[in-house]
Each structure stands twice: as structure tokens, then as C-alpha cells.
A and B are shown apart, each in its own frame.
Chain A
């Protein structure tokens, strides 16, 4: 019983998971700065953003879906499909980017819309529906082509090579700007619009939300559409980064996105979590990779083991917090 008193007097319990993730990020950064030369610079953090802009966008979409208590396994495949469609349309028929990019975004949103509609209309588990979506999108990739298609379009290469200089030798890529805009818009939608409130309400308790007269069905369809849009946008950003379209891009990215959302303190049962947490989650994942590349001697598979350990610690923390608030 004393635990509740502590919970009440200090930071509100709902901010605790995000705070913990923030502290972890800071601690990792400081530890890295002490251990490695040249680590403690602003550019290292910005590089994490530059290398993970696409993951950030995808994770934002995933946050919406998970907040309603659903899950979207199709994101990685939709990212790959987007790079593939963009690359093949520009390489083959030579379509201009200002046609290709909106088309890709529309296809991604359309796929999300269809999956959301099936989840809502036929009461099939989101896990299974998005799994079928994952197979479908990956299959479409291979149908378009099994080889990697290079992108040589001037606009895309410009996006890939432009450096936006900030103060004091720091720089970011245009993708980071897009990702940050997406995060800000998404945060606005989640916290200041009717849709955002419905998302939280649906995740909290679908039945209560329905009894309150909230459009649960429309909300569910909307979040999968948002996730589809974000995946397609993530695909466009990835094709800026990779300058190619390939059916094997972004394999397993759905796991990274889910891991980022969980590490960011969002409950997978839905109804509780913040976008800031997801941003921090992506940063933590990115920083792990940076540290492992700085360490040099550690092999790449340690990344996976560390991410697994982190997931474990965070889920344990979440469990402790939710047990406290319930009592």
C-alpha cells in the first residue's frame, strides 16, 4: 500500500515508463561517451536519427495500432513493397517522382485500409489479417522482381545526398525533417483530436468505447490505414537512404517497430502510451547499434541479444507499474 503513495506523490504513473526510457537513453549516451572517444557529440545522436528515420516513421504508425490493442505485422513488407514499386516505376516506364511518391503512399494506405476493414468487419484477429497482409505485400515484391533495382532519379539522389547544416558542424538529412514532421503531426492527432481520443478509448476498453457511442469500427480502420501510410512513407524514406528497391529490404522491421514501441513504454494491451516514448524507443535501438559499432569487437548478433534483454527489463518494469496502479 505504501507503493501507491509513492506513485501519487512523485511523477504521475503514466509518465513513468517514458521517463525510464529517457533515463536509459541518457545513461547509455553518457556511458558511451566515457568509454569511447568521439562518442559524446551531438552528431552521434543525429546520426541515430539519420540512420533510423524510416524506422521512426514506421514505429509511429505502429504506435497508433498498438494503442488500440491491435498489432500490424505487415509493416516491414509494405516498406519493401514501397521501395520496389517506387524503384520499378522510375526505372522502367520512367515515371517522375512527384507521381510515384503519392502513388506509393496511396497503395500503402489502401493496403492498410483493406486490412483494417477486414479486422473490423469480419472479427478476424489483427494478428492473422496483418500476417496475410505481410505475405501479400512480400509476394507482390517478388512478383515485381526478385533482383534489387537501383534508383538513379535526380530527385531521389538529391534527397539522399543533401545535408541540412545546423549550428556548429551538426547536420541532418531531409529524411529526418520528414520523420520529425510525421512525429509532430501524429502527436497532435493523438492528443488534440477526436480520432486520438477514440484511439485511446478503443484500446482502453473496446466495449466501453462502443457503449459510449464512439465510432470504434471507424477508429480501427483508421489506425490500420495510418499504419499503412506510415509504412509506405517509411518505404519512401528507405529508398532515399538505400537508393534501391528490393524485395528483401526491411525484413523483420515489424519486430524492430514493435520493440521500439514496447521499449517506449506503450502497453501492448492498448490504451496507454505516448509517441515520445516511441521516439525514445527508436533512439535506444539505434544507440545500441551505434555502441556495438563503436565497440568494434562485438559481433552483430549481440545487438539482438541486447534488444531482447532490454525488452525483458522494460516489460518487467511495465508489469511492476501496472500492478501498482491497479492495486
Chain B
């Protein structure tokens, strides 16, 4: 729980900042049977990022990284919209798109677990080629669709709650159940801690790795459907651009180490919410939107510094010289570097 402290503090500070500038920030209304309000907007627009980040969390927990999720977002949206524009049913289109995403994820997993390529490179291949693939599917055009049923995924409501938020809750619930109630989470962490040792202990680490990459791609696929359905169009070039970086940031802000071996789903959700709230905050406190990225860089640096044991130690020592020097700890930090 202590790991979640700092991300939670940052999120609360950001929200407090918003209330300070817009007192009505926390008000939530029901209009036309739909929930409205700034908080709901943060959840609604943050839904794709949370989904992608959830998949990324499990990948990072195995000591890997998935750079290709942004391209998978684009491919999934592109294929679904192409199918719908060719008069396929919404269910067929969605199933086809998610099926392709699973295949792409399994390909990533095969490169990492089967061939043994470094994850960052293995997924770089699909990151570069996938963008091309998405544009190939859309023919370089922006495909617009006119389907009410498809629109529901990203822009619809069910029982007054945005449908995207419900999807996120469902995926989060299932993931939390599978990884925290069943042994799967521990298996994933053990693979991340030491893949070879866990293989010797009888864990099928290759299967686990294959599975997490497929899961990450599936999450990205659903996020891609949400993004394209929200605007009723697919843009192979720009959909999900840089979402992989935001997702990795969300995971890191949430306290999951990039080295693998541990993960926190709650932390990831907090991290993704921080990133989305940051964007909202920039608009609500009247900072020019051009400086969003600057703002983001500062917050990211601050959060990462706070979480770095090495930084905390140095800052602590500077404040009070009374703290005894701890060479043993410092040694440990250096070795893991």
C-alpha cells in the first residue's frame, strides 16, 4: 500500500488544483439519463489509456516492454471500421479486429519468448511495421463509419455510465481476479524476477510471456475500438500515436518497476488517471495548451524522482546530516543499476 501513497498524493494534489481554479469541478449531474461532469470526462477520455496501461503492466511485470501497442490501437480501429464500411456486422468487425490483435500480440510474445529477442526490439518491429500496416488497411485514408451500434463502444452510455468506463471496469475486475485471486499473478511476477529460475521451478515461463503479450495487444485492440468508435472513424496514421509512451509512464508512475518482478494494477490505474487529469488540468487552469507537454515532463520527472530510492536517500541526507551513512544500501542500488 505504501507504494501507492505517492501516486495517490499526486492525483489528489492535481484534483485539488482543479477545484481551486474551477470550484464546480467535482459536481456530477445527470442529463438525459447520462452522467456529466469533469470527473466523468476524465474517466471517459482516460478509458483507452487505462486499458492499454493494464496490458502494459503485466508485460512490464515479466521484465518486458511493449512498444507496439500504439500501432495495434491503430490497426484494430482500422480493421473494424473497414469491415463496417463494407457492410459487415458490428460483432463480426469487432471479433475480426480483436482476433487480429491477439495474433499480433502472440507474434510479439513468440519473438520474445520463442526466439529470445530483447522485448524492446521485438516490439519495435511491430511498432514501426504496424503503423504501415494500419495505413495499408485504411488505404492511407481516414475511414468514416456510420454505425450506431459501433458508436456505443466508445461514445455510448449504459445505465447512465459511459460504456467505455464499464469496459475498463470489467477488464480491470477480470485481470485483478485472475492475477490476485488465482496464482497467475505470482507466476507472472516470478517470471519477471528470474525467467530461468522459474522455468527450473516448473513454471512454463514461455507460455506466460506469450500470454501477457497477447493480453497487452488485446487490451490495446479494445482501446483502439474505443478510440475509433468515439470519433466514428479510423485514422491509421494518428490513432493511438504515442499511447505506448503514456501507458509506460502510467505503469512507472504507478510504482511498477521497469525491471519486472512486481506489479500493481491499482498503481497503474492511478498512474493513467494522473496522466489524463494532467491534460484536463492544463485546460481548466488556463495554461496555454501548447505547454501541456512541458507540464507533463515536469510532473513525470517529479514523480519518478520521488520514487527513486537513490534520490530519496540523497535528498534525505542533504536535509539532515544526522542520518547515518548507509554504504550497504548504496552499494545495492548501484549494483542493480
Contacts and interface: CB of A to CB of B under 8 A. Distances in A.
Contact of B132 (A133, A146, A305): A305
B132 A319 contact: no
Contact of A303 (B124, B132, B293): B132
Contacts of A140: 294
Nearest to B295: A139
B129 A305 contact: yes
A122 B129 CA distance: 35
B311 interface: yes
Contacts of B1: none
B118 to A, nearest CB: 6
A250 interface: no
A204 B288 CA distance: 45
For the complex of A and B, 5 pairs with smallest distance between CB atoms: A308-B129, A304-B132, A139-B293, A139-B294, A301-B135
Contact of A315 (B122, B136, B301, B334): B122
B304 A139 contact: no
Contact of B125 (A143, A210, A315): A315
A102 B301 CA distance: 28
A255 B126 CA distance: 12
A131 B248 contact: yes
A255 to B, nearest CB: 6
B117 interface: yes
A138 B292 CA distance: 10
A123 B308 contact: yes
A132 B290 CA distance: 16
A136 interface: yes
B297 A124 contact: no
Given A301-B136, A311-B124, A135 B129 contact: no
Interface in B110-166: 115-118, 120-122, 124-133, 135-136, 140
Interface centre among A122, A131, A136, A262 (most CB of B within 10 A): A122
A142 interface: yes
Given A123-B309, A131-B248, A319 B293 contact: no
A128 interface: yes
B258 A125 contact: yes
Given A125-B258, A134-B245, A308-B125, 17 more contacts: A121-B314, A123-B310, A128-B248, A128-B252, A132-B301, A142-B290, A210-B334, A255-B127, A258-B124, A299-B136, A303-B132, A304-B132, A304-B135, A308-B128, A309-B129, A312-B129, A316-B115
B258 A304 contact: no
B249 interface: yes
Given A143-B290, A206-B337, A268-B118, A132 B129 contact: no
Main secondary structure on A side of the interface with B:
helix
15 contacts: A73-B245, A121-B311, A122-B311, A122-B314, A123-B337, A132-B297, A135-B297, A259-B124, A262-B121, A269-B118, A304-B131, A304-B132, A308-B125, A308-B130, A316-B115
A95 interface: no
A146 B293 CA distance: 13
A210 B42 CA distance: 47
A304 B333 CA distance: 40
Contacts of A73: 245
Contacts, number: 136
Contacts of A133: 297
B140 A139 contact: no
B206 interface: no
B335 interface: yes
Given A127-B258, A255-B127, A299-B140, A122 B291 contact: no
Contacts of A139: 290-297
B174 interface: no
A304 B296 CA distance: 29
A299 B118 CA distance: 31
A35 B116 CA distance: 37
B249 A131 contact: yes
Interface in B284-306: 288, 290-298, 300-301, 304-305
A319 B117 contact: yes
Contacts of A142: 290-291, 293
A138 B297 CA distance: 10
A302 B131 CA distance: 10
A299 B292 CA distance: 34
Contacts of B121: 262, 268, 311, 315
Interface in A287-312: 299-305, 307-309, 311-312
Given A123-B308, A124-B305, A311 B128 contact: yes
A207 interface: yes
Contacts of B135: 299, 301, 304
Contacts of A311: 121, 124-125, 128-129
A122 B128 contact: no
Nearest to A131: B245
Contacts of B124: 255, 258-259, 262, 311
A138 B293 CA distance: 7
B129 A143 contact: no
A278 B133 CA distance: 26
A123 B132 contact: no
A118 B305 CA distance: 9
Given A131-B248, A268-B118, A255 B290 contact: no
Nearest to B296: A135
B336 interface: yes
A139 B297 CA distance: 8
A134 B245 CA distance: 11
Given A135-B300, A311-B128, A143 B118 contact: no
Nearest to B134: A301
A210 B298 CA distance: 32
Contacts of A71: 120
Nearest to A144: B290
B202 to A, nearest CB: 25
